[in-house]
Amino acid sequence: MARKDFLDIASLTREEVEYLLEQAVPFKDLFTRSVKKVPALKGKSVLMLFYEPSTRTHSSFEVAAKRMSADVIDLDVPQSSVTKGETVKDTVDTLQAMRADYIVVRHEMSGMPLAIARQTKASVINAGDGAHAHPTQGLLDAFTFKEVFPETDGRKVLIVGDILHSRVARSTSMVMRKLGVEVAFLGPGSLVPRDGTEGMRRFTDYEEAMKWSPDVVYLLRVQMERQDAQFFPSLGEYHRVYGVTQERLERLADKGTYIMHPGPVNRGVELCHEVMDYERSLINRQVENGIAARMAVLFWLKPGTGSEPPMTTE
Amino acid sequence: MNLILKGGEVAGEEGAPRRADVWVEDGVVKGVGEKIAAPDGVRVVDCAGKLVVPAMFDAHVHFREPGQEHKEDIAHGTEAAINGGVTGVVMMPNTNPAIDSAAVVRMVLEKAGEVSRIPVYTSGCITRNRAGAELAGIDGMRKLGVRMLTDDGDPVANPSVLMRAMEYASEFGMFFASHCEVAELSGPRALNLGRVSYQLGIKGSPACSEEICMDRDIRLAHAAGAHVHIQHVSSGIGMETIRFWKERGARVTAEVAPHHLMFNEDDIGEYDTNYKMNPPLRLAEDNAALLEGLKTGVFDQIATDHAPHSEFEKSQDFVTAPNGITGVETALVSLYDRFVRAGDFGWDLLVKRYSAEPRRLMGLDPVPVEEGKRAELLVFDPNGETTFSREFMKSKSVNTPFLDRTLQGRIEMVVAGDEILLER
């Protein structure tokens, strides 16, 4: 089944997720060849519309599109300040005139990619909107997870940190659950929502969470800067209570637990410095897999089908 | 004008509608009785199977004039009111400039006098430009008939400012209307804090933000000897807060909006901004508690918070899109469709809470369909239907969840004094 847009994980079926993950495998195999390019999207244009600064996701999409021979156009849009609807509508009208085939959108306002998708025939890919969704991150996380654990049902992932503000937590927990993976959250009470996380276990204590024996500990980036009223006292205290300290890393090694992180890592906060040498860290593999997963998404979508995008929430 | 509404049932504040003909002559109800013989030359309107109801009064509307006439103006707002069976309104003062002085009140009332076919009342600001600091020109507004003081849209953040205003203006026989919210708790004021806010990835506003301010304002009024009217209560605990203070004998009245009775956060779906208002839609259990509050008299009145916004403004992302939906022309039919038809309450409640009590709040006489009273009534066909299409609605804006929906019930005629304001 073809779709016009890729806006969230929630609206995908398990079959669609599995299909995309299978599609990503041959794309990843390309990366080890001398010629890494395929002509799949030759003559097609991919517009990059990043209203929020991003290095990793932006580069990842750009590489993915170029490896499929698409033309990549980076639109110079205002970043940092809240972009009002008028500007967005003007931009969308411009894009429509440019007849782009794919639009990759990142925006600080939740729901903006949907709003754009409803106004254009181009395929819209959500590259992260507010705290709502980051579906290609979810997909690449699932891809990475499945490489390590081909049988996903009954596996366990513990997501640690700022669940409240994290679109990654929403998309990654959603995609994991679609694959039959059990998901639990650990984080400060001020950063784990009380409602909306039904069906997921909630731990308040690191040691208790470890007794649950997760296969993967997925650490979220924690920031102090967005705190208008503090969510926790200090980064140091966060590290001691919820972070993977050196001592905790050693115990994870003993149990054979994997570590994932969407990057960039705040060393000394979510993770101790030693984690970069940790043999079961999947962090670099996530970056590589991100390109393959995004190629699979670009390959799957059918621009111009004009169907109203199905859309649910993460 | 001389007409007989024949064969219908007359609704009032007490009891079920009763069978009676109604004779209106020269703007006055000349007779109400089982069978009124029509003298020659009197127009007879067949009302068999229909209701003759006192016209409604909406004590909370935003008509956006002056300053935001692209959303609404007094001419369109009052026509929308008539279209909804409403023959009197109280405007909120969050216009631009705000209605915070005799000069702006005079301007608004003069404009209404020119363009409106129904009486328009306005509230006035508590503080200058609704900024929460200096007091507005209270005596000047009072002399022009302003009775309700409010900074609606925002609370008066500083409790000391509000308490002094209450102590000062209560001596003039004025009362206060409170939009309740603690700004620091409310985030971007987009939606309720809960499951939906998590799923949509938008910071939610907790019900306690409203409840804390509500409790604060009632306590301040209680201490200052003032009458405070709590606007658009959205939560069950908010309802209980008012009940508590009423039982304690505080001078508090309160209103509930139709949308808070009918909808909850699940209706937002995929960022539908026609379900975005402030206070936000909360939970199904809040809908139930508010209905209970309405039925038990905790809420003195129904008021719509008619808040027009242009389609462009509402088409923005959910956080940026402004708060509010229109209501004045959908309220009566939707309340009938949703509650009266289901037997949740009767016409007596609708008449009491959306016609009589809001008039009393404003110091006006109710308009019962009784012999010798001024004729101010509507004819309602419970078996008819209303489709809220763009063509049907008279407001300048169409930001309502009822857009293009067809509901049961139809307002067939609206009469005020010697004038038939509407006849379908």
**Is residue A306 pLDDT above 70, yes or no?**
no
Is residue A111 located within the same domain as residue A141? Answer: no
Reading the block at residue B3, the tokens are 């007409």
Instruction: Indicate the number of domains in chain A.
Output: 2
Contact A115 B270 (CB under 8 A): no
Domains and CATH numbers, chain B: 2-52+371-423 (2.30.40.10), 55-361 (3.20.20.140)
pLDDT confidence band for A78 (50 / 70 / 90): confident
For A173, the closest chain B residue by CA position comes to: B199
- What number of C-beta contacts closer than 8 Å exist between A and B? 82
In DSSP notation, B253-321 reads EEEE-HHHHH--GGGGTTT-GGG--SSPP--HHHHHHHHHHHHTTSS-EE---B----HHHHTS-TTTS
For A228, the closest chain B residue by CA position comes to: B184
- CB–CB of A67/A291 below 8 Å? yes
Is residue A175 located within the same domain as residue A246? Answer: yes
Reduced to 3 DSSP states, what percent helix, strand and coil does chain B have, rounded to the nearest 5?
35, 20, 45
Is residue A110 located within the same domain as residue A161? Answer: no
Q: What is the pLDDT of residue B76?
A: 98
For residue B40, the tally of other CB atoms under 10 A from its CB is 4
Q: What is the pLDDT of residue A167?
A: 97
Our separate counts of H helices and E strands in chain B read 14, 18
Q: Which residues of B touch A193 (CB under 8 A)?
A: 198
Q: What is the pLDDT of residue B251?
A: 98
Query: Would you give the end-to-end CA distance of chain A in angstroms?
Result: 21
Is some CB atom of chain A closer than 8 A to the CB atom of B387? Answer: no
CA distance, residue A86 to nearest chain B CA (Å):
8
For A167, the closest chain B residue by CA position comes to: B201
Q: Which residues of B touch A133 (CB under 8 A)?
A: 201
Report if residue A255 sits inside a domain.
yes
Cα B280 from Cα B206, distance rounded (Å): 9
In our burial notation (b when 16+ CB lie closer than 10 A, e otherwise), range B301-318 reads: bbbbbbbbbbeebbbbbb
Crossing angle of helices B159-169 and B207-224, in 10° steps, is 40
Contact A132 B315 (CB under 8 A): no
Q: Which of B197, B198, B318 sits opposite A111 (nearest CB)?
A: B318
pTM over 0.90: yes
Best mutation target among B317, B318, B319 (most A Cβ atoms within 10 Å) is: B317
Cα A164 from Cα A191, distance rounded (Å): 5
Report if residue A154 sits inside a domain.
yes
For A313, the closest chain B residue by CA position comes to: B199
Is some CB atom of chain A closer than 8 A to the CB atom of B320? Answer: yes
Is residue A85 located within the same domain as residue A102? Answer: yes
Residue B344 annotated in active site = no
Q: How far is CA B253 from CA B79, B138, B164, in A?
A: 28, 21, 20
Range A27-41 average pLDDT: 93
Q: Which residues of B touch A312 (CB under 8 A)?
A: 270
Q: Which residues of A touch B202 (CB under 8 A)?
A: 110-111, 130-132
Q: Which of A112, A193, A313 sits opposite B317 (nearest CB)?
A: A112
Q: Which residues of A touch B195 (CB under 8 A)?
A: 195-196, 198
Range A248-254 average pLDDT: 96
Reading the block at residue A282, the tokens are 């999947």
Q: pLDDT digit of tens for each residue in chain B (424 aa)? A: 899 999 999 999 999 999 999 999 999 999 999 999 888 889 999 999 999 999 999 999 999 999 999 999 999 999 999 999 999 999 999 999 999 999 999 999 999 999 999 999 999 999 999 999 999 999 999 999 999 999 999 999 999 999 999 999 999 999 999 999 999 999 899 999 999 999 999 999 999 999 999 999 999 999 999 999 999 999 999 999 999 999 999 999 999 999 999 999 999 999 999 999 999 999 999 999 999 999 999 999 999 999 999 998 998 889 999 999 999 999 999 999 999 999 999 999 999 999 999 999 999 999 999 999 999 999 999 999 999 999 999 999 999 999 999 999 999 999 999 999 999 9
pLDDT confidence band for A82 (50 / 70 / 90): low
Contact B198 A311 (CB under 8 A): no
For B185, the closest chain A residue by CA position comes to: A229
Report if residue A272 sits inside a domain.
yes
Closest CA to A77 of A43, A116, A41, A44: A116
Cα B247 from Cα B245, distance rounded (Å): 5
Max CA pair span of chain A = 58
Q: What is the pLDDT of residue A83?
A: 56
Is residue A204 located within the same domain as residue A157? Answer: yes
**Burial of B15 per CB tally in 10 Å (0-12, 13-18, 19+):** exposed
Q: How far is CA B103 from CA A117, B109, B124, B142, in A?
A: 47, 10, 11, 12
For A7, the closest chain B residue by CA position comes to: B270
For chain B, the C-alpha Rg in angstroms (whole number) is 21
Is residue A61 located within the same domain as residue A114? Answer: yes
Is residue A57 located within the same domain as residue A150? Answer: no
Peptide bond into A53 cis (omega under 30): no
Contact B201 A131 (CB under 8 A): yes
Contact A195 B319 (CB under 8 A): no
Is residue A145 located within the same domain as residue A199? Answer: yes
Q: What is the pLDDT of residue B267?
A: 98
Is residue A59 located within the same domain as residue A148? Answer: no
Q: Which residues of B touch A314 (CB under 8 A)?
A: 199, 201
CATH code for the domain of A87: 3.40.50.1370
- CB–CB of B11/B51 below 8 Å? yes
- CB–CB of A83/A109 below 8 Å? yes
Contact B312 A86 (CB under 8 A): yes
Q: Compare B286 and A227 and report the one with higher pLDDT.
A: B286
Contact B320 A229 (CB under 8 A): no
Report if residue A308 sits inside a domain.
no
Cα A257 from Cα A157, distance rounded (Å): 10
pLDDT in tens, B200-221: 999 999 999 999 999 999 999 9
Q: What is the interface pTM, i.e. ipTM, of the complex?
A: 0.90
CA distance, residue B128 to nearest chain A CA (Å):
28
**Burial of A204 per CB tally in 10 Å (0-12, 13-18, 19+):** middle
pLDDT in tens, A134-183: 999 999 999 999 999 999 999 999 999 999 999 999 999 999 999 999 99
**Burial of B134 per CB tally in 10 Å (0-12, 13-18, 19+):** exposed
Report if residue A309 sits inside a domain.
no
- Strands A102-107 and A123-129 turn out to be parallel
CA distance, residue B319 to nearest chain A CA (Å):
7
Report if residue A4 sits inside a domain.
no
Best mutation target among A7, A83, A109 (most B Cβ atoms within 10 Å) is: A109
For A163, the closest chain B residue by CA position comes to: B198
Q: Which of A114, A197, A229 sits opposite B198 (nearest CB)?
A: A197
Contact B198 A196 (CB under 8 A): yes
Report if residue A2 sits inside a domain.
no
Contact A170 B199 (CB under 8 A): yes
Q: What is the pLDDT of residue B40?
A: 87
Best mutation target among A132, A173, A191, A312 (most B Cβ atoms within 10 Å) is: A132
Is residue A61 located within the same domain as residue A123? Answer: yes
Q: What is the pLDDT of residue A307?
A: 46
Is some CB atom of chain A closer than 8 A to the CB atom of B160? Answer: no
Q: What is the pLDDT of residue A227?
A: 56
Of B151, B215, B300, B305, which residue is the catalytic one?
Answer: B305
Report if residue A103 sits inside a domain.
yes
**Is residue A122 pLDDT above 80, yes or no?**
yes
Is residue A117 located within the same domain as residue A144? Answer: no
Q: Which of B195, B316, B318 sits opposite A110 (nearest CB)?
A: B318
In DSSP notation, chain A reads ---S-B--STTS-HHHHHHHHHHHHHHHHHTTSS-----TTTT-EEEEEESS--SHHHHHHHHHHHHTT-EEEE-----SSPPPHHHHHHHHHHHHHHT-SEEEEEESSTTHHHHHHTT-SSEEEEEEETTTB-HHHHHHHHHHHHHH-S--TT-EEEEES--TT-HHHHHHHHHHHHTT-EEEEE--TTTS-SSS-TTSEEESSHHHHHHT--SEEEEPP--STT-SS-SSS-HHHHHHHHSB-HHHHHHHHHHT-EEE--S---BTTTB-GGGGG-TTB-HHHHHHHHHHHHHHHHHH--TT--PPPP----
Contact B201 A132 (CB under 8 A): yes
Is residue A123 located within the same domain as residue A159? Answer: no
State the residue range of the domain holding A162: 136-282
Question: Which B positions 186-225 lie with beta carbon below 8 A of chain A?
Answer: 193-203
Q: Which residues of A touch B206 (CB under 8 A)?
A: none
In our burial notation (b when 16+ CB lie closer than 10 A, e otherwise), range B344-383 reads: ebebebbbbbbbbbbbebbeeebbbbeeebebbbbbbbbe
